[in-house]
């Protein structure tokens, strides 16, 4: 627990060094060629008042299936001054309104070029085909129906989500699929979150990974891993003066088990710290480097698992949000190792904007692809499939 306490202290100290700009996803429906509003939230998590800049305009880049398109959104209403005084542990939301590019359609990444901030994803609909009264009212009705219930607005993607099938590189052909989500505990408007802004970044995460044996009669599941976690996650707690290097942090408590009994029962509890370094412009080609350090709290079902999994993992990715991405993950213990390589490419670019998700090519080699086989090295496997989140 000392490791977890130090990690939370690290997040609070370094995460409060300066004001942070956070772009929020629009609640209204986004229609190509139509006006839409975006909200920029400026937070002061320090113990001192800060004078922060308020841009009169946002220089935005929209990246979808085609070439990136730039657009300028103006503050609505215009700010009374270029800077504001932000009290300690408070935030301010500024609304910006502009017209979406007419050529934009489908899922798109929005990046701010003149402010150091996060990226958001939006779904852009095609404009109505006819200028009838009913069509003119369509965006408003769509807007009302597009507003997510409070519960669903707290959900977001966590680990990658995909389904992939072995393509015959070994005699044991298997498929592998993974689902993963995280839930934010506190809303941004809650009194608790306002008094302690770090509460915004507390989540419950859940990942489930299954391996399906396609080569055996009745195609049974080899194993399923259930991984609930209580975690703190902030995508940016520090940024270099030139905005080329950013540091995020994930830390928390994790449980993993395979839900079986008897000699096949496997379970463990861990505490971990995972700094996340991003090198390069968010909207362009960039590196992501994420080492993960962990300690085992309980391994009664598999006391030697640290010999095969070790005490650290490393994930390195290079790619672009709307283009190709290469990702390699690995871990090593004194008695074994594991390596996984994922290559993904956006399906909208391959299908003229008709399909969502990513084409996935995956390779795994080493020990313990499933929790049941943590001390076994099975044959390496190539898999081809579809990813929803990469």
Q: Is residue 5 part of a domain?
A: no
Please tell me the total count of domains within the chain: 2
Q: Is residue 3 part of a domain?
A: no
Q: How far is CA 50 from the centre of its chain?
A: 29
- Among the three residues 131, 147, 163, which one is the final residue of a domain in this structure? 147
The CATH number assigned to the domain holding 215 equals 2.40.230.10
The pLDDT value recorded for residue 27 is 61
Consecutive H or E run containing 179: strand 174-184
Q: Is residue 358 part of a domain?
A: yes
Same domain? 143 vs 155: no
pLDDT by residue, tens only, the chain of 390 residues = 444 444 444 444 444 457 889 998 776 668 888 888 899 989 888 878 888 889 999 999 898 876 788 999 999 888 878 888 888 888 888 989 999 988 888 888 899 988 988 888 888 888 865 444 444 444 444 443 444 456 677 888 999 999 999 875 556 778 999 999 999 998 866 778 778 888 889 999 999 999 988 766 655 778 999 999 999 999 889 988 888 899 999 999 999 999 988 889 999 999 999 999 999 987 789 999 999 999 999 898 899 999 999 999 999 999 998 899 999 999 999 999 999 999 999 998 898 878 889 999 999 999 999 999 999 998 889 999 999 999
CA distance 123 to 108: 6
- Among the three residues 83, 112, 147, which one is the final residue of a domain in this structure? 147
Report the phi/psi class of residue 310: left, alpha or beta, with left for phi > 0 and alpha for psi in -120 to 50. Answer: left
Expressed as residue numbers, the domain containing 194 is 151-389
The pLDDT value recorded for residue 151 is 66
The pLDDT value recorded for residue 6 is 46
Same domain? 193 vs 248: yes
Residue with tokens 């509890």: 269
Same domain? 69 vs 139: yes
E strand segments, 214-311: 221-239, 245-257, 267-279, 286-298
Same domain? 178 vs 141: no
pLDDT tens digits, residue range 128-169? 654 444 444 444 444 434 444 566 778 889 999 999 998 755
Same domain? 385 vs 297: yes
- Among the three residues 78, 113, 147, which one is the final residue of a domain in this structure? 147
Same domain? 215 vs 297: yes
Q: Is residue 258 part of a domain?
A: yes
CA distance 369 to 173: 14
What is the maximal distance between C-alpha atoms in the chain?
Answer: 71
Residue with tokens 């993960």: 292
The pLDDT value recorded for residue 68 is 84
């Amino acid at each position: 627990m000392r490791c977890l306490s130090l990690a939370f202290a690290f997040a609070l100290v370094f995460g409060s060094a300066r004001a942070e700009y956070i772009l929020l996803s629009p609640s209204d429906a986004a229609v190509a060629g139509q006006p839409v509003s975006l909200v920029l939230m400026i937070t002061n998590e320090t113990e001192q008042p800060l004078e922060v800049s308020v841009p009169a305009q946002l220089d935005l880049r929209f990246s979808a299936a085609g070439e990136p398109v730039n657009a300028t959104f103006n503050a609505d209403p215009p700010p009374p001054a270029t800077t504001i005084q932000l009290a300690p542990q408070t935030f301010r939301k500024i609304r910006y309104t502009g017209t979406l590019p007419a050529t934009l359609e489908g899922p798109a990444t929005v990046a701010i070029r003149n402010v150091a901030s996060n990226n958001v994803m939006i779904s852009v609909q095609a404009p109505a085909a006819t200028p009838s009264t009913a069509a003119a009212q369509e965006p408003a009705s769509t807007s009302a129906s597009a507003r997510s219930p409070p519960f669903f607005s707290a959900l977001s993607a966590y680990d990658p989500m995909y389904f992939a099938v072995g393509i015959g590189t070994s005699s044991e052909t298997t498929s592998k699929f993974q689902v993963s989500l995280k839930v934010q505990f506190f809303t941004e408007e809650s009194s608790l979150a306002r008094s302690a802004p770090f509460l915004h970044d507390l989540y419950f995460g859940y990942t489930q990974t299954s391996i399906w044996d396609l080569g055996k009669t009745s195609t049974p599941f080899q194993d399923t891993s259930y991984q609930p976690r209580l975690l703190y996650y902030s995508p940016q707690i520090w940024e270099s003066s030139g905005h080329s290097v950013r540091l995020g942090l994930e830390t928390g408590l994790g449980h993993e088990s395979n839900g079986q009994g008897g000699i096949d029962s496997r379970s463990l509890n861990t505490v971990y710290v995972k700094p996340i370094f991003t090198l390069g412009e968010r909207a362009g080609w960039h590196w992501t480097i994420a080492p993960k350090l962990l300690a085992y709290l309980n391994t009664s079902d598999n006391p030697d698992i640290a010999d095969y999994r070790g005490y650290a993992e490393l994930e390195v990715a290079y790619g672009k949000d709307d283009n190709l991405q290469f990702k390699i993950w690995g871990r090593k213990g004194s008695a074994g190792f594991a390596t996984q390589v994922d290559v993904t490419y956006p399906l909208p670019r391959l299908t003229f904007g008709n399909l969502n998700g990513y084409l996935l090519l995956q390779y795994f080699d080493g020990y313990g692809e499933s929790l049941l086989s943590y001390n076994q090295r099975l044959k390496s496997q190539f898999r081809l499939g579809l990813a929803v989140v990469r």
